[in-house]
């Protein structure tokens, strides 16, 4: 800048340089988002219903509990495990204490790669999720929240796209539907479990397998569906539960109780 007769005059060379930079930015466009990955469930009955062949990355997915059990949390733990793979780290944000490490580990989640964030309000949960998503260094971010304002969800979606990270919203039973900006919406509830078959060489049946009723209630370009899924410790994954006609007619004599997720 120069001053002449009390008037500030811009340096022509500086103006030309700024114009050149702006034109260069305009040609290049916004910073490209990393290509999102699809995370298959590994269950053909589920994956073929989802238009992407699995759970798409770099977007927001909502999981609502159908009851007061921890089935929805267990389902989310399974999703986090699959999203994290062998090396990825995940973040779990919420207002309450109560995460049970051994329970999460039972569903394959490596707790050494789990970062737990405790907040004071739902607003703080969304802030922590947004910051974590934009970091781009995580496999997935989960937030437990009762509220879900459209503006907050929109910000989460933009953060997920910017960082190329998948977001999960875990919501309690009875929570109002989160309108817009969620790519998929799920509802998960517990179903009475059935004892697993006895292991070779053992006379007693194995521990009960957690079973969940999983409803896909909303899916962009997809069709709603419902499945009865159960967790298999021996394979470390979910599977469609066998029909009742393939189950024992009565529980074992020793009265093994039902087992719930987490």
pLDDT in tens, 186-207: 999 999 877 655 445 544 455 5
User: Using a CB cutoff of 8 Å and minimum separation of 24, what contacts does 129-134 make?
Assistant: 129/91, 129/93, 129/156, 129/159, 129/167, 130/155, 130/156, 130/159, 132/91, 132/93, 132/165, 133/159, 133/160, 133/162, 133/163, 133/165, 133/167, 134/159, 134/162, 134/163
pLDDT of the residue at 200 = 53
* Higher pLDDT pick, 48 / 96: 48
Instruction: Provide the pLDDT for residue 148.
Output: 82
Higher per-residue pLDDT: 11 or 84: 84
Q: Which residue has the higher pLDDT, 96 or 144?
A: 144
Q: Where residue 102 falls among pLDDT bands split at 50, 70, 90?
A: very high
Rounded Cα distance between 64 and 178, Å, is: 10
Determine the pLDDT at residue 30. 35
Q: What pLDDT is stored for residue 13 in this prediction?
A: 74
How high is the pLDDT of residue 258? 33
Predicted local distance difference test score (pLDDT) of residue 230: 94
The answer on pLDDT for 185 being more than 60 is yes
Q: Which of 130, 221, 126, 215 is nearest to 173 (CA)?
A: 215
Domains of the chain: 40-246 (3.40.50.300)
10-24, 38-52, 90-104: which is most confident: 38-52
Which band of pLDDT confidence, cut at 50, 70 and 90, is reported for residue 208?
Answer: confident
Token pair, residue 143, equals 């937030």
- pTM, whole model, 2 decimals? 0.76
Of 13-27, 49-63, 153-167, which range is least confident?
Answer: 13-27
């Amino acid at each position: 800048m120069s001053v002449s007769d009390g008037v500030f005059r811009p340096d022509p060379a500086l103006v030309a340089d700024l114009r050149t930079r702006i034109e260069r930015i305009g040609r290049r466009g916004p910073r490209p988002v990393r290509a999102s990955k699809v995370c298959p469930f590994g269950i053909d009955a589920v994956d073929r219903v989802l238009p992407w062949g699995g759970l798409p990355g770099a977007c927001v997915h909502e999981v609502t509990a159908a009851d007061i059990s921890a089935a929805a949390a267990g389902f989310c733990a399974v999703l986090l495990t699959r999203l994290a793979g062998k090396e990825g780290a995940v973040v779990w944000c919420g207002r309450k204490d109560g995460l049970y490490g051994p329970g999460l580990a039972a569903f394959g989640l490596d707790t050494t790669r789990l970062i737990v964030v405790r907040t004071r309000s739902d607003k703080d949960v969304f802030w922590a999720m947004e910051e974590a998503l934009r970091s781009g260094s995580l496999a997935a971010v989960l937030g437990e929240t009762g509220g879900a304002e459209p503006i907050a969800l929109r910000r989460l979606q933009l953060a997920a796209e910017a960082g190329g990270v998948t977001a999960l919203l875990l919501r309690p039973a009875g929570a109002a539907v989160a309108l817009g900006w969620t790519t998929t919406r799920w509802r998960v509830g517990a179903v009475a479990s059935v004892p697993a078959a006895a292991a070779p060489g053992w006379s007693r049946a194995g521990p009960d397998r957690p079973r969940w009723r999983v409803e896909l209630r909303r899916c962009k370009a997809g069709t709603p569906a419902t499945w009865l899924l159960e967790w298999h410790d021996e394979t470390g994954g979910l599977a469609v539960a066998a029909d009742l006609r393939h189950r024992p007619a009565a529980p074992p004599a020793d009265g093994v109780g039902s087992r719930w997720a987490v």
